[in-house]
Amino acid sequence: MKIIPAIDIIDGKCVRLTQGDYAQKKIYNEDPLEVAKGFEDAGIENLHLVDLDGAKAKQIINYKVLERIASNTNLKIDFGGGLKSDKDLNIAFESGANQITGGTVAVKNPELFLSWLEKYGSEKIILGADVKNEKIAINGWQEESGIELIDFLKKYTAAGIEYVICTDISKDGLLQGTALDLYEKIKTHFPKLKLIASGGIVGMEELEELQQLEVHGAIIGKAIYEGKIDIHVAAGFSSQ
């Protein structure tokens, strides 16, 4: 199971939100590259980089941050937030993203998202499934779509999606535990899916439980920044 730390960007700075609420923003570092280098030095290989300004603006904004991290580390970066057009996607890949994550676009413009999947392949395109009460939420979690999670996943796995990042919004940023039951349900329905769990992970015990569910990866954010999980220990866990 891959351990994937998250860097969320607002105004070029490393921040965390609570339950996706932009009003509940905490700045952890002015320089995301410094944070990324710290992860790499700890033995981490993958990074989840989210352009929160982009998610709000509905177009890529913080691609220069992506470019700096990609140019100055060997981290494999999956990039998301505000990718709504071919132009956005081209900028993300040209700036050094190894993979991109599309969530809102997969709901609002499925034809475009499927064209990306066809053009770039399933290794490059991750489906973002942000959920609340097992329904998909979009536009930086500010809007509920009413689409059932399992139906959403059925549609896109049938189209060839292999990677899914699933975030339970109700858990995210609270440090109260992750949605183990939800991930177990997804793995039961889609055993071959490369599922990446995100939101609420608070300790090493949960990482062990997620590994037992055979999820592909675990994204950790606030637990690292608040000192609940030692990234060096987590990186060691990742290489087991």
What lies within 8 Å, CB to CB, of 133 at 6+ separation is 170
Region label for 44, one of left (φ > 0), alpha (ψ between -120 and 50) or beta (otherwise): beta
Catalytic residue among 51, 88, 130, 168: 130
CA angle 41, 225, 163 (to 5 degrees): 75
- The set of residues, in sequence order, having a beta carbon less than 8 Å from that of 79 and lying 6+ positions away, is 49, 50, 51, 66, 92, 95, 97, 99, 100, 101
Q: Is 8 a catalytic residue?
A: yes
- Coil, helix or strand for 26? strand
- In angstroms, the CA 90 to CA 104 distance is 18
Whether 11 is catalytic is: no
Cα(183)–Cα(83) distance, rounded to whole angstroms? 25
Which of 8, 51, 53, 78 is catalytic? The answer is: 8
Distance CA 9, CA 12 (A): 6
- Which residues are identified as catalytic? 8, 130
